[in-house]
Structure 1
Amino acid sequence: MLIDLKARQAKMTGRSYAIADFDGLYLNISATGFKAWHFRFSWGGKRERISFGGYPALSLKEARELRDEARAPLAKGVNPHSDRKRKRHAIMLAGDHTFKAVYDKWLAHRSLSLENEGRQSTPKQIERVFKKDVFPLLRHMAIYNVTRAHLLDIIGRVEERGSFSVAEKLRTWFTQLFTYASVVVPDMGDNPSKDLDVVAMPLPPAENNPFLRRPELPTMLQTLRTYRSRPNTRLGLRLLMLTGVRTGELRYATPDQFDMERGLWIIPVVRLKQRKQLKKKKRQRFSDIPPYIVPLSLRAQEIVRHLLEKFEPAQVYLIPGDWNLKSRISENTFNGALKRMGYEDQLTGHGIRATISTALN
């Protein structure tokens, strides 16, 4: 067995020679005096050799550890040369395929289809959820090292805080992401996102958006008339009451959707919630689905004209956000106003549509 003193004192002799340690480890001294560690083994009846590195940069102890690592695959019938190449390849792939790198590619790909479906807000929602709940654990991890246990841990923490809908979405997004990775990432292996729903916490009973009955409407309308708020918030709520459109359709409304000569609001199909169902049911192409036309009452026309007259050059939407003309008014603005009007747990922006439908039917 070799000792460190003997390795240090090995001299140049003008020709190459080797000093044996044990279990196939040798210190090779070249004709010029360069010392390097080699591991020798037999494979398929032939003598083979693996070089570890030079001495003393690589100590005797470190060389023995590398020798033991190289011997391990031999015991399993694996060529140490092939095993080292595979591990080096895996390290290279892991560096190029961190979870965050694969996520970025997947989201860019997913955003294209979401944009075609008119769901530009979904990528932003994905970004928020992953930034808050996923990246703290997985951002720098190689995609190859992500296990089902990692994903279940993340989803479990989300469920513990009561965010069951977010947990459900995370299961869907994880499945989409790892299905994408199985196609684009070399040697991806098993999909850790399979069957995550087997241990999902049961969802609490769904709570529909609260709405008012017909006898409650006069009081609500009177409260709305006297409610002090930002003008755009009050006008937006009045338009919801006068048209019965969904809050998203109003929030995304742009001036070009309004034909004021005919008193019509023409909502493009890209904003319709039913676009998928219409396309599937009628087997229509997306471009063949007609827009949604909303006739405007005289009072609704007055409000729209007022908003159009106040339209600023930098503005994009009919009703802009409170602090940024390029943004749209948020749904929380409507719900917050209804809460301050005294309708908390009684009416939401979404519930206005149900209120009108109930009153008319």
Structure 2
Amino acid sequence: MALTDLHVRNAKATGKNYTLGDYDGLSLFVSPKGSKAWHFRYHWLGKQSRMSLGMYPELSLRDARAMRDEARTLIAKGINPRIARKQKQQAARLAGEHTFIAVYERWLAYRALALEEGRQSTLAQIRRVFKKDVIPPLRRMAIHAITRHHLLEVVGRIEKRGSLWVAEKVRTWFRQLFGYAMVIVPNMENNPARDLHVVAVPLPPVQHNPFLRMQEIPSFLRILRTYQGREVTQLAVRLLLLTGVRTGELRLATPAQFDLKRGLWVIPAASLKQRMMLTRKQRKRVNDIPPYIVPLSSHAREIVKQLLNDFKPAQKYLFPGALRLTDRMSENTVNFALKRMGFDGRLTGHGLRATLSTALNEIG
């Protein structure tokens, strides 16, 4: 006979275990002390099995019957309901353990093993972009629950404000992060970051740094001589033009890198823009990569000699910051000086490197 709410409610403790049957395998188990639990009995692979559905009164008769019917539906589909429930519980546990923020932090720590620190480093860019654009909408989501649609929404907001290069980087970082998640997160079988580029807004054409042609250099040098800003900035521009080094390498220059007797500037691999490519390609540590040797002309040596003579005890870099001697020159200092000299849109600090290269090629 089918149970009623009254039967269930009036089932009392008798000092022994006993069971009240419902139908289709559902029953109410009553303990010697009167606690009540719902059980479901079923046959699987020729053997009788039993699974607990929950306690009464937390789980009503109506709810217990609904859970029994769900279990019977799984059996009809060839699925063991007990195993299915364990998998569901495991998925819920994994969802709590493997939120997006938890996986992101593990991935970032892994990336930090190979990436260098620094304000403009890849590691710093990842932190800034994820903090601003990615973590707020995805922070508490289970990594398994994140779909391609969620990632497209994040990238779409970045594209909408016109930051197409940032969006391109985020797509790449998503592929790396979710590829990492597929290895470390149990039951992570799909990478939702695949093929995000298919609907990407096209990037604008690459605009190379503007530079001067050989016939423009004499007038540029005349203007440079009358520059009214800091002398160290003028010397920085002149040394860039004479050596062809990158602005980053110039800003990181220290007195120890210069051998004026031999007329050499020895730039360590740690200061080179391509250091990461070199370490990955050659599978060497940065300290094991030979330095970059820049020969110094007589004019370049005179500039370095003047800078060394003016070097203060508090300085670390040959080209100090404008506000603090302990800092290096700002990355915008050279470009701002060129702008003040009337070369806005016509020349940049990096363009000085291209100017020298073009002039040397024209000379042959």
1:242 Cα deviation from its structure 2 partner: 2.9
* Distance in 2, Cα, partners of 1:284 & 1:23: 66
* Distance in 2, Cα, partners of 1:72 & 1:325: 75
The aligned counterpart of 2:28 is: 27
* Distance in 1, Cα, partners of 2:255 & 2:24: 81
* Distance in 2, Cα, partners of 1:130 & 1:84: 35
> SS state of the match for residue 40, structure 2?
strand
* Distance in 2, Cα, partners of 1:86 & 1:122: 39
Distance 1:80 1:284, change over 3 A: closer
Once the two structures are overlaid, the 10-residue window that deviates more, 228-237 or 350-359, is: 228-237
CA contact (8 A) 1:311 1:318 kept: no
Does 1:355 pair with 2:355?
A: yes
1:91 Cα deviation from its structure 2 partner: 2.4
The aligned counterpart of 1:97 is: 98
Does 1:259 pair with 2:252?
A: no
Q: Give the TM-score of the pair, scaled to structure 1.
A: 0.83
Does 1:145 pair with 2:139?
A: no
* Distance in 2, Cα, partners of 1:148 & 1:326: 47
- Structure 1 gaps of 5+ residues are none
1:301 Cα deviation from its structure 2 partner: 3.4
* Distance in 2, Cα, partners of 1:49 & 1:322: 78
* Distance in 2, Cα, partners of 1:280 & 1:15: 71
1:27 Cα deviation from its structure 2 partner: 3.0
CA contact (8 A) 1:209 1:348 kept: yes
* Distance in 2, Cα, partners of 1:225 & 1:6: 102
* Distance in 1, Cα, partners of 2:74 & 2:237: 71
Aligned residue identity for 1:105: R
Does 1:106 pair with 2:107?
A: yes
CA contact (8 A) 1:37 1:53 kept: yes
* Distance in 2, Cα, partners of 1:348 & 1:90: 55
CA contact (8 A) 1:254 1:316 kept: yes
1:207 Cα deviation from its structure 2 partner: 0.8
Within-5 A mapping of 1:331-346:
331-346=331-346
CA contact (8 A) 2:249 2:271 kept: yes
Within-5 A mapping of 1:17-96:
17-20=18-21, 24-60=25-61, 63-64=64-65, 66-67=67-68, 70-96=71-97
* Distance in 2, Cα, partners of 1:209 & 1:178: 35
1:330 Cα deviation from its structure 2 partner: 3.7
* Distance in 2, Cα, partners of 1:302 & 1:19: 101
Q: What do the CA deviations read for 1:72-131 (whole angstroms, capped 9, x no partner)? A: 533432111111211222222233322222222323333333449x99811112222222
The aligned counterpart of 1:208 is: 208
Q: What do the CA deviations read for 1:148-180 (whole angstroms, capped 9, x no partner)? A: 222222222222222222222222222222222
> SS state of the match for residue 198, structure 1?
helix
The aligned counterpart of 1:300 is: 300
Aligned residue identity for 1:184: I
Aligned residue identity for 1:174: F
> SS state of the match for residue 150, structure 1?
helix
Aligned residue identity for 1:237: V
- Structure 2 gaps of 5+ residues are none
1:2 Cα deviation from its structure 2 partner: 4.8
* Distance in 1, Cα, partners of 2:42 & 2:186: 31
Q: What do the CA deviations read for 1:19-41 (whole angstroms, capped 9, x no partner)? A: 45565443322121112232333
Distance 1:210 1:71, change over 3 A: farther
1:245 Cα deviation from its structure 2 partner: 0.8
* Distance in 1, Cα, partners of 2:306 & 2:62: 83
Does 1:245 pair with 2:245?
A: yes
The aligned counterpart of 2:160 is: 160
Once the two structures are overlaid, the 10-residue window that deviates more, 91-100 or 272-281, is: 272-281
* Distance in 2, Cα, partners of 1:123 & 1:277: 15
1:208 Cα deviation from its structure 2 partner: 0.7
Once the two structures are overlaid, the 10-residue window that deviates more, 336-345 or 53-62, is: 53-62
CA contact (8 A) 1:331 1:349 kept: no
CA contact (8 A) 1:243 1:294 kept: yes
> SS state of the match for residue 26, structure 1?
strand
> SS state of the match for residue 194, structure 1?
coil
Q: CA RMSD in A?
A: 3.4
> SS state of the match for residue 113, structure 1?
coil
CA contact (8 A) 1:317 1:326 kept: yes
Overall identity of the aligned pairs, in % = 60
The aligned counterpart of 1:9 is: 10
* Distance in 2, Cα, partners of 1:152 & 1:100: 18
The aligned counterpart of 1:197 is: 197
Distance 1:4 1:269, change over 3 A: same
Aligned residue identity for 1:156: G
Distance 1:31 1:120, change over 3 A: same
* Number of residue-to-residue matches in the alignment: 358
Q: What do the CA deviations read for 1:24-66 (whole angstroms, capped 9, x no partner)? A: 4433221211122323333223332222333234445654555
Q: Give the TM-score of the pair, scaled to structure 2.
A: 0.82
Aligned residue identity for 1:40: R
